[in-house]
Structure 1
């Protein structure tokens, strides 16, 4: 059974400008912004502007474009945050841990010996998110 895309999910609201975000990157097809409940310093999200529930229903051409942006943002996050690695996570449906039903990729900078924080629902302060975003935006600009 296929579940319809809900145009009132939080990411759709961010795309429409109804909810603010700390934007990192935007083009005609994609938006990247800081995760407000980061599991590590520099945790960001990459989403398509097209409304699709997850990888199971996103059109292949949108997914192709999206994954190229994920790679670009992963490189910038690793460089900008001075990370040793980067974790890319993408969930599909509740049984797999998906909680926001707009396809998105988590890009999480990683350091040896530092575990991910739980996704607790505790929001980071905006100054910290902006500081991390500034580092990632600088890395994006240097790579342009």
Structure 2
């Protein structure tokens, strides 16, 4: 069984900070930062790509509300909002979830973006349109 489904069904305890009939949000047990929160749909979806649009939208509405609360309560300077899709992108639990990770100006956990040389942007654009 999916660990997040078990958490949503209250079979496994969590530090829940938000719950409604469709969504649950709880503190990550292996946080990257204090306040690292996971927002999940209670209905099982393997990833963002599989989540029904209305449910996906509600997950992000809740994430937005909680991001505002995190900023206010923790006085952080920013928040990472991310969702990993598939193992190559770092998805370790195959249940759609959104990470909210508080960030501070001096922390060292910023996601680094690096230049990728030799991209044929025209070819890529055609493939993606």
TM-score bucket (shorter structure)? 0.7 to 0.9
Q: Which residues of structure 2 form unaligned runs of 5+? A: 111-129
1:1-144 correspondence to structure 2 within 5 Å: 8-116=1-109
Aligned length: 110
Contact 2:5 2:43 in 1 (8 A): no
Separation (CA, whole Å) in 2 of partners of 1:116 and 1:12: 29
TM-score, normalised relative to structure 2 = 0.82
Cα distance in 1 between the residues matched to 2:80 and 2:72: 14
User: Structure 1 length normalisation: TM-score?
Assistant: 0.74
| C-alpha distance in structure 2 between counterparts of 1:115 and 1:88, whole Å | 17
For structure 1, which runs of at least 5 residues remain unmatched after alignment? 1-7, 118-144
Taking only aligned residues, the RMSD between alpha carbons, in angstroms, comes to: 1.2
Supply the distance in 2 between the matched residues of 1:92 and 1:24 (Cα, whole angstroms): 24
Q: Which has the higher contact order (CA 8 A, sep 6+)?
A: 1
Q: Give the ranges of 4+ consecutive aligned residues of structure 1 lying more than 3 Å apart after TM superposition.
A: none
